[in-house]
Structure formats: C-alpha cells, structure tokens
Amino acid sequence: MARKPRAPHVGFVSLGCPKAASDAEQILTRLRAEGYEISGSYDGADLVVVNTCGFIDAAVEESLDAIGEALAENGKVIVTGCLGAKGTVVQDTHPSVLAVTGPHALQEVMDAVHAHLPPQHDPFVDLVPAQGIRLTPDHYAYLKISEGCNHRCSFCIIPSLRGDLVSRPIGDVLKEAETLADAGVRELLIISQDTSAYGVDVRYRTGFVGGKPVKTRLYELCKELGELGMWVRLHYVYPYPSVDDLLPLMAEGRLLPYLDVPFQHASPRILKAMKRPGDVDKVLDRIAAWRKAVPDLTIRSTFITGFPGETESEFNELLDFLDAAQLDRVGAFAYSPVEGAAANALSGALPEEVREERKMRLMRHQEDISTQRLEAKIGRILTVLVDDIDEEGAIARSEGDAPDIDGLVYITDGHDLEIGEFVEVTVTDCDVHDLYAELGTERRPAVL
C-alpha cells in the first residue's frame, strides 16, 4: 500500500486581543480543513504564520520580536494581523518574511500559505470538528459579530487598521453560535470593536435564521442567543441609549447581567478631545437605571489616564466619577501615543511619569470600590462555571467574571467538580479581585 505523504505542517503564533484570537481561529480552521497539520514547534513546521498586534508601541515591539524569533528558528514566515496594516514596518524590520497581510485577511493568508506550502488534501482523513478550531478551552468561546468601527476616537487607530463597521449576517452568527453550543460550549463571549453598533452598517437589515426573519440588531441577536442555553456575555459595548433595551433580557436571564462598557474618561472636555460621548450626568443616570432594572448587574470599564492636556482637576473628575458610578471592575491604561493616532497632534502631552502615576492612583482609588462590591456578595449563593481544578479545589467564574480580565471564584471544596460544569456555591470571603466559596454538604448543580 502506498504510504500517505507527510501532511504539510504550519506553526502558528498568535498575539493580541480576543479579536485577533478570533481571526487566528478562522485561519487555523481553514488550515486544518485543507489538510495542513498545526505544528507545536518551530522545528516541526514547514512554515510559520505570526498573527500580530499593532495597537500600542509595546505590542508592536512584541510582534516584531515574535517575527524575528520565528525567522531565526524556522526561516519561512508569513505575517498577518494589525501590525501588517501599519505601512511597511514589518518588511522594513524583517525583509525576509514571505508575505504580510493586515487583520481579518483569511483569504490572503491562505493564498500566501498555498504559494509557499501547497496543500495535500485527503478528504477522507482530514476531518475538522464542525465548530472549527478554537484557542479557548472547550467550555467557552469568543463569537465575533462584526469587524471595524464607525467611530473615530482620537487615541485609536483601529478604524484605519480594520476599516469601517461591517456586521456579519445574523444568520451566520447564530449558526456559528448553535454549532458552538452543540460542541459543548457553555459560555459565549460576544466581541467586536463596537458591539452596540451591530447592524448599523446594514440598517438593521432583516436576515433569516432557520427560515425565520430576524433583524440584524444587537437586541434581536441577544434574544436569539439567549435561547441556546449558554451564558452570553457582552464585551465592548459603546454607551449608546439602545443598550437600555438589553436590560430586560438580562432580567429575564437570557443574557448575563454583565456589561463591558469602555467609558475611557469622565471629564467632558477630555471626552470631547477623545471624540467620545461626553455627558457624564447622563451616563450616571443610565448606570442608576440599569442597576434598578438589574440589581446584580456587573459593570466593567476601562479608562485612559494622562490623555494630552489632562489637568490634575480633570483627572480628579475621573476619580469623582468612579466614586459616583461604583463600577465593579476597572482597567486603566496610561495614554500611549500610538503612531498615527489623531490625539498625538493635541497640545499638552504629559510626561510618561505623570501618565503612569495617574494610572496607579486611579487603580488604587478603585480598589476599595471593587472590594466593597465583592464584599457585598459574601454569604450569597451564586451560580459559577468551573474553569479548572487543582490541588486546592476548583477555579471558577461567576456571572460577573469574564475570562482573563476579571476575577475568579476559588471553590475550596470543589475538587470533584468538572471543568465546564455549572454549580451553585456559597461565597465565604473575597479580596480585591476574587471570591472564595464553598459547595457545602449538598452539591447543587445549577440550572440555566
């Protein structure tokens, strides 16, 4: 019998945000579908694809280093991702790369792979799981609903890298979600550059889901996703008034009571300079109304400190906002003058020490607020999703904890639980980020 030739092997290095990870999953799925093997080492790979990030200068450095390492270790390298869209920086630094594409360029990456490493497809042997190849654990998955962004926040270059908003057809998104549910996924993390804008570009066109007409709009999407028996968590929700419509879905338990809303600042002047919506009183009213509708709502946000021209009193407005808003989770970034961002032309650039010192001050200020909000959960029974088991028990997350960015729930007597299991626990303690909990004598599987 003729021996089957060795399948071509591709190494894959993926850097950057969940949106880049989602691009990576699509490329890996196509590679496997076409009969390529994914190599876990540079040695075993016939070529390497490096999926880069170009958001801030540190990410550019990291990406260029990763390309350099892949070239040194393997020699045949294709570059994709956000850094590929930033002029000729990749080619200037590493002229020997085989090809460079921008982000969300599945076909271009595949064309480059075909040109340098032709496929050997055997349709009887090369099977790809229906849910595709995922980089996350089996029980949760990112679901990208659109690409690009119609905003022009002055600190951000994503629209110039990824273009204007393009929403995926609602039928495709829901089909992918169903496939993931069938594959055992228990939690969907909805991502995009601007989740609340889903469907704006197609004027909320009516699509078809299993023959049923459904509008391409976030509310309808969430309503349908809420039927699939999974946790559905929304990320990158721009604070439009339409977000209010989602709260009833949370109150009904179709959508996790969780909103990741990047407010970025609270001073009206700075928000205007950032080209972000700037009515802080309205935002506070909206947060109060959201909490009234869904008392257990977890709100996560991110802020930028040391934006050009930010005065000490404008920074204090931001701290006052944190006191008033009582957000659950906060991330902060010191302003970074990303090459190509409009904000770099603003006057009043602040020294790095000031930007960093304000970031530290903001995080210290928020610590007490976050801790108090977690303390209020002590004694309560919460549903959690188990992520891992180790010798100290189970490591899980509650409805208020997104993977990687929020806290964890440590279940001290959870050794016998299973990864991907929903269970009810009683919260016994907390620190600034995490909760500690017990199953107690009676194991209570949670019903979604």
CA-nearest of 315, 317, 406 to 357 is 315
Q: Nearer to ligand SF4 by C-beta: 15 or 274?
A: 274
Between residues 231 and 238, which has the closer beta carbon with respect to ligand SF4? 238
| Tokens describing residue 333 | 């970034």
Between helix 312-325 and helix 280-293 the angle, nearest 10°, is 20
Query: Cα separation of 192 and 142, whole Å?
Result: 10
Nearest distance from residue 151's CB to ligand SF4, in Å? 4
Shortest spacing between CB 148 and ligand SF4, in angstroms: 8
How many Å apart are CA 152 and CA 157, to the nearest integer? 8
Q: String of b and e for 421-446 (b: at least 16 CB within 10 Å)?
A: bbbbbebeebeeebbbbbbeeeeeee
What's the min distance (Å) between Cβ of 103 and ligand SF4?
Answer: 12
Nearest-5° angle of CA 53, CA 55, CA 58? 80
* Block residue for tokens 């980089």: 135
CA-derived radius of gyration, the chain: 23
- Rounded Cα distance between 205 and 241, Å, is 20
Interface residues with ligand SF4 (CB under 6 A)?
Answer: 149, 151-153, 156, 158-159, 193-194, 238
Neighbouring C-beta atoms of residue 94, cutoff 10 Å:
17
> In the complex with ligand SF4, which residue's Cβ is closer, 156 or 318?
156
- Closest to ligand SF4 by CB, 337 vs 420, is 337
Measured from the CB atom, the residue of 15 and 149 that comes closer to ligand SF4 is: 149
Closest C-alpha to 42, from 66, 16, 64, 15: 66
Dist. CA 292–CA 356, nearest whole Å: 35
301 touches 260 (CB < 8 A): yes
Q: Which is nearer to ligand SF4, 272 or 415 (CB)?
A: 272
Task: Considering the complex, state which of residue 196 and residue 398 has its C-beta at the smaller distance from ligand SF4.
Answer: 196
Beta-bridge partners for 280: none
Question: Residue 255 CB, nearest distance to ligand SF4 (Å)?
Answer: 21
CB of 314 to ligand SF4, least distance (A): 19
Contact predicate 122/26, CB 8 Å: no
Distances (CA, A) of 374 to 241, 298, 328, 367, 434: 28, 10, 8, 11, 8
Type of residue found at 133: I
Question: Residue 287 CB, nearest distance to ligand SF4 (Å)?
Answer: 19
Judged by beta carbon, residue 195 or residue 398, the one nearer ligand SF4 is: 195
Distance of closest approach, residue 236 Cβ to ligand SF4, in angstroms: 7
Minimum Å gap between C-beta 281 and ligand SF4 is 22
- Smallest gap from residue 67 Cβ to ligand SF4 (A): 24
Of 119 and 159, which has the nearer Cβ to ligand SF4?
159
Nearest-approach distance from CB 304 to ligand SF4, in angstroms? 10
What is the DSSP track for 259-271?
EE---B---HHHH
Taking the least distance from each CB to ligand SF4, the nearer of 165 and 437 is 165
d(CA 205, CA 132): 27
* Strand-strand pairing, 422-430 and 381-390: antiparallel
